[in-house]
Structure 1
Amino acid sequence: MTMSINTGLVSGIDTGTMITQLLQLEAQQQNSLKTRLSTTEVTASAYRTVNSALSALATTAESLLKPETWTTTKGTSTASSVAVTTASYATPSSLTFSVASVATTASSVSAGRWTSTTTAANLSSLEILSADGTVSKGTIALDGTESLEQAAAKINADTALGLKASAVQVAPGQFALQVSAGSSGAAAGFRVAGTAFSQTSTGQDAELLIGGTDAGTTGYSIRSATNTFEGVLTGTTITVSKAEPAPVTVSVAADPDAVAAKVSGLVDAVNNAISTIKTYTDNTPGSKAALRGEYAVTSIAGQLLQAVTDAVGTDGSPAQAGFQSTRDGRITFDKEKFAAALKATPDLAQRLVAGSGVAGEPGAVTGLGARVREVAKAASDSATGSLISMAQGQDSLARDIKDRIADWDLRLAARKVTLTRQFTAMETALSSLTNQSNWLAGQLGSLPKA
């Protein structure tokens, strides 16, 4: 049962305000716990923010240890109509050819014209033949009652033939039935038997001629049902868009700039992690950083700097490949210097970053990439990372504080009930005394006077 009073009718005391003030005094410990809870939650969040930066760094560093990172290639072509893309496993090579033809898709259109696509078209069954007309591929059964749209639907539904049909407008108020092969190339070519349809295009393969313009006598040819040629050069895809009688040369070469860009990404991730650490551990006068002066965190920044700048085995300092530390505790990276080093001594540049040998075996040397990864992983690993452990410690503390705050809620509620009862009892007692005083005054007033 909830009890509450405001101003005592007998005492005239504002008991409601007095109870509130007394409870506020007793709640100071709870308020201190709430302040501590807020600080604890901010600290846990700060640990996780730093952890995220280091986790991203570990992932970036890990990618640089993969062999395919160091086999990056770039494809070029002497003709704008010939595009070249390379996979990570592409090998440096080149090829010269002419584009004899590009791939086309076989297509036929009805000789008849209709003024509607939804009324009966009076089409009979269509026999589909091979491109040369010698082999029947199948028959589309039509009884003449189908509209152009319905005829097209029946053609599209025949998955064995693999044709695509649609009603097309060939002139204002005039429609025809267009039938095309489902894919380009000579093998998908077809024709419609009879004279109800005329062929608008034939299925043709794309063809590259290597070693001359006459593949039959001085070279050889490569065909593709599409305009894309894969595997002609290892790990390389060649795409043509038009015939090119003049020789076209495609080349695949190592791309040190692409590798340098990936290494630059590692340096950016290192600097981001260091910057995040400095922001959250700022120990300058007046700083309100959540992890101010936290050595367990600030030391990680130093470890990262050391991982990047220390000598790598007998290969020496990473500075020779463009890595430098600055006075303010960051890393600078000269991408052009690294690319030049990669061209001049590719093995050295790779060893400085990725190391050499098999980790754990005699003679293995750990490169700066692996060193950075180990520092970042030791801090951010989801199971064993130091930052995760510290964040979880703050989480545990926050749960304990929340429980203590909840206990105070119960204690203060009970205290309010007690105080309310006490003041109510006081008012009752005062009322009784007042009544007695009034009675006595009345009795005394009724006594005979001398």
Structure 2
Amino acid sequence: MASAIDGLVSGLDTTSIINNLMSVEARPQTLLKSRLSDTQAKATAYRAVNTRFDAIRTAAEALTATSLEAARTARTTTSDVTATASATAARGSVSFTVENLAAAQTTFTSRTWSSTTASVTGEPEPTWPIQVIDANGAVTDTITIPEGASLVDVVSKINAAGYGFQAQIVQTGDSGYRIKIDGTRTGADNGFRLGLTRTDPDDPGATVVDETAFTTVQAARDAEIDLGGGVRATSSTNTFADLLPGTAVTVSKRTDGPVTVTVGTDSSAIAGKVQALVDAVNGALGVIKGFTVSTAGSATATLQGDSALVSLSGQLLSTVSTAIGGASASQVGLQLTRDGKLTFDAATFTAKLAADPALATRLISGTADSTVGGVTTPGVRGIAGRLQALARTASDSSTGTLVALAKGRDTLAKDIQDKIDAFDIRLAQRKATLTAQFTALETSLNTIKNQSSWLSSQIGQLYNPNKSS
């Protein structure tokens, strides 16, 4: 590309002239860039609103009739007993007295040793290894203890055996040490029996397993509760997994009197879901207003007066304000404010849910079709169902109106960008042409100037009076 020679002959600021001419040439592109920025901002705005409507859909789906029915809470009359209710828990109550807590077995060696390094195999009887005995008294396994093993060695062997118990050394006096063996699981079925070998007193030529070599101080035990009338329930742990269907009860202390566990509707959890839906709706209304209504002293709103968004805003408000089966949403604490927002009174809602759960459920979640005597009664779509349908229509990834609007702006932005790119090429060519033209002008002027100087020199010589003839 030719480069301009700033005013070497003409004295013109050719660079400034070219730049000014290019600014005029680039005005259409500048308008296109402004239009591109506006189009991209609108696409971003539509997607921001779409995100809010997707939040409405999620919050509304959490308030289906099934989810309301599954909202359960379990309460107890003492902190010594806790209960958790699952979504399948049946409403009801049960009273009981905690008779026993579950325990793991604790066993000590009957003999003591003078140090932790003392040999356990030094005495003639009873002899090691440790015999593991089943409930019928038969030896099922053997924990081998090498000759000369110390208490530390025995503990290591027991812990490595993996029989459902663990050992440690306990000092029981100034110079006395025993091996303490604890079961790793609670429950009566998780007890264990251990023994060593000694000569059979009735048959000196035979041996017997001597269980007196170990002393059990705590037998493995089930947790036990008294339900009254001689009815008892047991558990290998302190948790009764299904004392009531779908409800787990955990005991931590024996009780002197009855404890009552009550399973009912978790009103606070449901109210929290309704509040989440209200917050989602208000969030969408606020974003729509921000994009469609200009405020005093601010720039024009990105989607000023956009009919699609204004319509969606109106539909959100009418969904709540329209009666459902002759009942108003205000009966469950939902109301519209003068400034176009939704409010929720959780106390009103929980009171109505307790007094008339059918009405509260119908208003929030609606009812399904029902058939009685061959006659079908159409169901009623509740507020959550209405909002869910509206949000899906607006934000569905394939057919949503907001998604379509955003994609439309994306397509337009691409077309505008293509035009801007084409303009870049055109402007570059135009600048090269102008630069070449002004360079040629300077070159031509320089040639003319040189020729003028030569002619002046020649004419001067022709008329010079001092020139010799």
Contact between 2:6 and 2:15, CA under 8 Å: does it hold in 1?
yes
Cα drift, residue 152 of structure 1: 7.3
Using structure 2 for the length normalisation, give the TM-score.
Answer: 0.80
Tell me by how many angstroms 1:379 deviates.
0.9
Aligned partner of 1:282 among 282, 290, 293 = 293
Q: 1:379 is matched with which residue?
A: 394
Change (3 A) 1:109 1:12: farther
Select which of 225, 229, 250 maps to 2:240.
229
Q: Deviations over 1:277-324 (max 9, x none)?
A: 2122114555532222112101112111111121112x3322233322
Structure 2 stretches lacking a partner, 5+ long: 123-127, 197-211, 371-375
TM superposition shift of 1:49:
1.2
| Offset, 1:139 | 3.8
Is 1:421 equivalent to 2:436 in the alignment?
yes
Alpha-carbon spacing, 1:421–1:307, altered in 2? closer, same or farther (3 Å): same
Of 107-116 and 84-93, deviating more is 107-116
Do the aligned residues in 1 keep the contact of 2:116 with 2:150 (CA within 8 Å)?
A: no
Match status 1:39 vs 2:38 = yes
Matched residue type, 1:291: L
Corresponding position of 1:9: 8
Q: In the aligned structure 1, how far is the partner of 2:114 from the partner of 2:428?
A: 89
CA gap of 1:169–1:369, structure 2 versus 1, over 3 A, is farther
Partner of 1:79: 78
Per the TM alignment, residue 176 of structure 1 is displaced from its structure 2 partner at its CA by: 9.1
Note closer, same or farther for the CA distance 1:448–1:328 as it changes in structure 2 (3 Å cut).
closer
Superposition deviation, residue 106 in structure 1 = 3.5
The 3-state SS of whatever aligns with 1:11 is coil
- Give 1:196 shift: 8.5
Equivalent position SS for 2:436: helix
Match of 2:125 in 1: none
The one-letter code of the counterpart of 2:272 is A
Matches within 5 A, 1:38-437: 38-107=37-106, 126-130=130-134, 134-136=137-139, 138-141=141-144, 143=146, 161-163=163-165, 180-194=182-196, 201-211=218-228, 218-284=229-295, 286-287=297-298, 288-313=300-325, 315-358=326-369, 363-437=378-452
Instruction: Give the whole-Å Cα distance in 2 for the aligned partners of 1:9 and 1:169.
Output: 107
Residues 133 and 191 of structure 1 are in contact (CA less than 8 Å); yes or no, is this contact kept in structure 2? no
Instruction: Kindly state the Cα deviation for residue 156 of structure 1 after the two structures are TM-superposed.
Output: 6.2
Residue in 2 that maps onto 1:214: none
Cα offset for 1:393?
1.0
Q: Is the 8 A contact 1:6 1:17 kept in 2?
A: no
Evaluate the alpha carbon distance shift between residue 107 and residue 399 of structure 1 in structure 2; reply closer, same or farther with a 3 A threshold: farther
206 and 427 in structure 1: CA distance in 2 versus 1, 3 angstrom threshold: same
**How far has the Cα of 1:168 moved from its partner?**
9.5
Structure 2 CA distance for aligned equivalents of residues 88 and 73 of structure 1? 6
User: 1:323–1:115: structure 2 CA closer, same or farther, 3 Å change rule?
Assistant: same
Contact 2:183 2:191 in 1 (8 A): yes
The answer to which of 133-142 and 76-85 deviates more is 133-142
In the TM superposition, residue 225 of structure 1 has moved relative to its aligned partner by 1.8
Aligned length, in residue pairs: 436
Q: Which moved more, 1:400-409 or 1:15-24?
A: 15-24
3-state DSSP of counterpart to 2:257: strand
Q: CA RMSD in A?
A: 3.7
State, as a whole percentage, how many aligned pairs show the same letter: 41
1:58 and 1:372 in contact (8 A); partners too: yes
Whether the aligned pair in 2 keeps the contact of 1:114 and 1:176 (CA below 8 Å) is: no
Query: Residues 117-163 of structure 1: CA distance to partner in whole angstroms, max 9, x if unpaired?
Result: xxx99997654445x6935453445657999999878766666x355
8 A contact 2:65–2:361 mirrored in 1: no
Q: Which runs of 5+ in 1 are unaligned?
A: 212-217
**Partners of 2:116 and 2:152 within 8 A in 1:** no
Query: What amino acid sits opposite 2:223 in the alignment?
Result: A
Cα distance in 2 for partners of 1:306, 1:283 equals: 23
Tell me the equivalent position of 2:204.
Answer: none
Measured after TM superposition, the shift of residue 104 of structure 1 is: 2.6
Structure 2 counterparts to residues 14-29 of structure 1, below 5 A: 14-29=13-28
Whole-angstrom distance in 2 between the partners of 1:225 and 1:330: 55
Aligned-pair distance for 1:329? 1.5
Q: Distance in 2 between matches of 1:115 and 1:10?
A: 109
TM-score by length of 1: 0.83
Whole-angstrom distance in 1 between the partners of 2:266 and 2:114: 57
CA contact (8 A) 2:116 2:151 kept: no
Seen in structure 2, the aligned counterparts of structure 1 residues 319 and 423 have a Cα distance that, compared at 3 Å, is same
Q: CA deviation at 1:82?
A: 0.2
